[in-house]
Amino acid sequence: MKGHERDTISTDSTSLKSPVVLSLALHLLILAVALAGWSWTNPVQEPEPRSIAARLISPEPEPSPLVDDQDQRKKDQELKEKQRQKAEAERKRIQQEEAQREAEKKAQELARKQEQLKEQERKRQEAQAKQKAEQQARAKEAARKKAEAEAKERERQKAEQERKRQEQVKRKALEEKKRQEELRRKEEAERQRKEEEARKAAEQKRQEAERRLREQQLNALAEEAKKAQENEARKQREAQAARAREAQMLTDSQKYQALIRERLSQAWYPPSSATENMTARLQITLLPTGELASVTLVSSSGNTAFDNSALGAVRSLKRYPVPDNRDSFERYFRQFTIEFNPQRLR
Amino acid sequence: MKVSAQNKAFAMLLSFGLVAGCSSTGETIGEGDYGYESGSDVAAIDEDGGSTVYGGAEGEGVSSTALSDEEREEARAQAEQAALRNITTFYFDFDTSEIKQDARDALVAHARYLSSNPRQQLRLEGHADERGSKEYNLALGERRAKAVERFLVVNGASRGQIETVSYGEEKPAVRGSSESAWAQNRRVELIFK
Amino acid sequence: MLMTRKSSNANLKRNMVLFGWLMVMLMAASAARAELLIRITEGANAAIPVAVVPFAESGVMPAGDKVSNIVQADLTMSGEFQLLAPEKMLSLPSKRSEVYFRDWRLLGQRYVLVGELTRSGQRVEARYELFDVNREQRILGETAGASASNIRSLAHHISDRVYETITGEPGVFSTKLAYITLTTSGNESVYRLQVSDIDGQRSKIRLESREPILSPAWSPDGKKLAYVSFETGKPVIFIHELATGKRTKAADFPGLNSAPAWSPDGQSLLMTLSRDGNAEIYQMNLASGKTTKLTNHWAIDTEAAWDHAGRGIFFTSDRSGGPQIYYMERPGAEPRRLTFGSRYNARARPDSKGEYVYYIHQRQNTFHIARRNLKTDEESIITRTGSDESPSVSPNGRMLIYSTQQDGKGVLTVVSADGGAAYSLPASEGEVREPAWGPISR
């Protein structure tokens, strides 16, 4: 993985992948986006939100008439009344305004809705118109195509007719030919029939030959099979014989082993200091005659007198009893190991 | 009991034999059997001077020595003891130092004798038969001797009178390798000094 | 871990290939012919055939037995060799060039000893060679010399060397024997303590007494004998210095003083004393005369003997009714009974290797010498004679001498330690008893 990581990055500055160019492009892009963003960020004009304006209800300043004292109360009352009326009127006005506003709102709402509806209608109509237009277009197209197809068809038919005509001509010619051919064919057939006969005859012969061949082959196969079977049987017999020989060799070898063991036991004088822990191992090589070719001490008992007694025993046998069968001899007695290890019966 | 009975009988017989030798052949001490060949009425007096005299009818004869019953009894007892003390060899079974029952009487006699003769010194020699090991037999002989010593001391002798030694199998009484020889060698001998 | 994926793959592949080969080879090996192995677990239970050829002589040899005859007798006595009678020899070689191994093979001999004696003045030199017949090799070749009057020692030395070469064990033919003889005429008995060669020859009387002498015991250095003598009328232990004839009384307490046994360092004697009333075993320091009581039982405790390591003590005790062999791990420790099954076992003598202990053992109304394997506890009787006594083991643990009866007379017999062969020492005047096998002196 690291190897890939170690791949060096190209440093060609003229390529499009140059960092400077990239940087510039990036800045331009940002700029473009920003500008585009401007136009983009112009949503549908929403009406300015009307907050509950706390309008200052400021009584309109009325010219203050001269007032008598007498009329002061009355004037007061009237003023109050006026004020009340004004207030009332104001209230009403406010109410009216409110209502008006409300109505306006509603009207606006309505207008909006109507507009919306209109819009929708418009759109629908647009769409409809579009659809119509499309349909028309399609129809036109279809018509065009149809016309095309028709034209093509007509053409084809024409061509077909032409072909047919030509074919007819050809056929006629062919028929003529045929007639002539027929004649020829008849002759031919006759000839062929004759040939056929000959061929059949030949075929029969061939088949006969084939059959005989097949027979032969079958026979041969049978022969082979038989041979194979015989072979198999023979092999089995041989294997059995080999096993028997093996077994014989084994029993032979065991027999001769026992003989050798007996002879060596009789010929071995272990020193009186020998213990059951002492083991001397000797490797023996014999000649087919049973004579000792060589003896080597491969594992000492640790006691020289003991080792020497083992060597003496092995060397004291002039001829080792070995099987006459050469295979048995080679297999078991050409080279073997003798282990001397006294086991006291006391 | 057999040995002492035998000894008793022997002692009796001995006494009678002495009489018989000098006088007539009185075979039995029977009632009124006075058939003597010599026909004499008077019997000779033997050397001991204390033998029984036969003559005439019972009670008719006059004995030459007049011993009282007591004295006779004592004499008889003494003779018995002397006879017992003649036995100075005591035998043992194989590999044991156990004193046989029939040896007791004689040993008691010896003990009494030693007790009444404090200046008498005695040497006990212990032996064993030849079988087995020499050293073990040496110890066995000693144990036998010591067994006899103990018995004597218990029965009156004093330790100071007795000396023990063992010869093991080294000094057999009878040579040979037979049961009888062996039996005769398994012994303690009393040697009066 | 620093390998790239590619190279780790390569390693794995290589390992698998190797493993595959290993399996193939293993299978091949097991399928291949396994070599025949013949095991010999016992040998001829017979003596080794050896031929000692009469040595050639140059010069007049001293009168007496021939060196080769003495060697023959020595090797025969050991019970381990079967000596070929000289009349059967096809040739009489005295050196290698004259040895035809085929001849000796025909005669079935395993070893041949040849040699030559040369007399020069009062000295006799022997050159001797020992050959392994089957390997056709000389396995020993030496010269040794001795004064003409000491020709027997020269012969015994050659026997030792031959024995050592063949068996790997030290020979004991130069050791001495101590024993007691008894002659009686009428009522007179004469006891003699004698020391001789191991074959009974060249005996010398060391003590003569009218009273019994018992239990001779060799000091470990072979220079002294301890024994029990009745010369004072009771058993007393003496120590007798052989070279000077000097004697000292080691123990003369009331009662028994018997069964002396030397410690391996020669500094103390085990003995049986009855001064406390009955036979017990004591250890006496010879320098100080101080005694330590080792047993404390009303029964007879006697015949103590140190084990081969000089740590524990075997002894005879009849604390269980009859004499049996006991063993204490250290002096004074609680004894452990070793012998069972027979009502009489006494006089234990362990060998110097700690393998066996030999003792008198009663079986069917007679007494044999038996030996017990100290590891396996197996007991076996090793004497064919009866009325056997006083076993004494050879210092190499291979032979045992003991006294027995022959024609009503006491004789000494040597057997091989497993009882295989027996060799009676020539009968001497009177009865012979109480043999003690002396140590190997280096």
Specify the higher pLDDT residue, A269 or B9.
Answer: A269
B154 burial (CB, 10 Å; 0-12 / 13-18 / 19+) is: exposed
pLDDT at A99: 77
Question: Which run of H or E residues covers position C258?
Answer: strand C257-262
Q: Does pLDDT of A270 surpass 60?
A: yes
Chain A residues lying within 8 Å of C400, measured CB to CB: none
Chain C residues lying within 8 Å of B140, measured CB to CB: 300
pLDDT at C71: 97
The answer to whether B143 contacts C279, with C-beta atoms less than 8 Å apart, is yes
Q: Say what percent of chain C tops pLDDT 70.
A: 93
Specify the higher pLDDT residue, C421 or C8.
Answer: C421
Chain C residues lying within 8 Å of B135, measured CB to CB: 214-215, 258-259, 272, 302-303, 316, 346-347
Q: Does pLDDT of B39 surpass 80?
A: no
- The whole-angstrom separation of Cα A295 and Cα C279 is 62
The whole-number average pLDDT for the span A144-173 is 88
**Interacting residues of C245 by C-beta distance below 8 A, sequence separation 6+:** C206
* DSSP line for C21-74: HHHHHHHHHHHSPPPPEEEE----SSPEEEEEPPPEEESPPPSSS-HHHHHHHH
The ipTM of this complex is 0.86
CB of A323 within 8 Å of a chain C CB? The answer is no
Residue pair A170/A178 in contact by the 8 Å Cβ criterion? no
Q: Does pLDDT of A337 surpass 80?
A: yes
**Phi then psi dihedrals of residue C316, to 5 deg:** -100, 135
Residue pair C42/A342 in contact by the 8 Å Cβ criterion? yes
Specify the higher pLDDT residue, A7 or A179.
Answer: A179
The whole-number average pLDDT for the span A105-129 is 81
At B111-148, the pLDDT tens digits run 999 999 999 999 999 999 999 899 999 999 999 999 99
pLDDT at A70: 55
Give the pLDDT band of residue B189 (cuts 50, 70, 90): very high
- The 3-state DSSP class for residue C150 equals helix
Tell me which of A53-57, A222-226, A333-337, C227-231 is least confident: A53-57
Q: How many helices (H) and strands (E) does chain C have?
A: 4, 31
Per-residue CA distances from C128 to C55, C77, C142, C148 (Å): 8, 21, 6, 17
Give the pLDDT band of residue A9 (cuts 50, 70, 90): very low
Residue pair A337/C37 in contact by the 8 Å Cβ criterion? yes
Query: Could you tell me which residues are beta bridge partners of residue C301?
Result: C317
Give the pLDDT band of residue C149 (cuts 50, 70, 90): very high
Sheet holding C257-262, edge to edge: C257-262, C268-273, C280-285, C291-293
> What's the CA angle centered on B185, arms B183 and B187, to 5 degrees?
95
pTM of the model: 0.66
Q: Within the 163-182 window of chain C, which residues sit less than 8 Å (CB to CB) from chain A?
A: 166-169
For residue C223, the tally of other CB atoms under 10 A from its CB is 15
3-state helix, strand, coil in chain A (%, to 5): 70, 5, 25
Query: Could you tell me which residues are beta bridge partners of residue C414?
Result: C401, C423
Chain C residues lying within 8 Å of B139, measured CB to CB: 256, 258, 272, 274, 279, 300, 302
- The whole-angstrom separation of Cα A99 and Cα C231 is 170
Domains of chain B: 89-192 (3.30.1330.60)
Q: Say what percent of chain B tops pLDDT 70.
A: 65
At C310-323, the pLDDT tens digits run 999 999 999 999 99
At A186-214, the pLDDT tens digits run 888 888 888 888 888 888 888 888 888 88
**Phi then psi dihedrals of residue C52, to 5 deg:** -105, 105
The answer to whether B143 contacts C390, with C-beta atoms less than 8 Å apart, is no
Q: Does pLDDT of A89 surpass 80?
A: no
Tracing tokens 């038996």 back to the chain, one arrives at C370
- The whole-angstrom separation of Cα B81 and Cα B72 is 14
pLDDT at B55: 43
Of A266, A337, A342, the CB nearest to C41: A342
- The whole-angstrom separation of Cα A48 and Cα C176 is 148
> Can you read off the two tokens belonging to residue C206?
């060391």
Q: Does pLDDT of A107 surpass 90?
A: no
The answer to whether B165 contacts C389, with C-beta atoms less than 8 Å apart, is no
pLDDT at C7: 58
Tell me which of A164-168, B96-100, C125-129 is least confident: A164-168
At A288-302, the pLDDT tens digits run 999 999 999 999 999
> Can you read off the two tokens belonging to residue B170?
């080294």
The answer to whether B139 contacts C234, with C-beta atoms less than 8 Å apart, is no
Q: Does pLDDT of A122 surpass 90?
A: no
- The whole-angstrom separation of Cα C113 and Cα C71 is 10
Give residue ranges of C with CB < 8 Å to any B CB: 212, 214-215, 228, 230, 233-235, 255-256, 258-259, 272, 274, 278-279, 300, 302-303, 316, 318, 322-323, 344, 346-347, 360, 362, 367, 387, 389-390, 405, 408, 433-434
For the packed helices B134-154 and B104-116, what is the interaxial angle rounded to 10 degrees?
A: 60
User: Which residue type, as a one-letter code, is found at position B73?
Assistant: E
At C51-82, the pLDDT tens digits run 999 999 999 999 899 999 999 999 999 989 99
The whole-number average pLDDT for the span C29-53 is 80
pLDDT at A327: 86
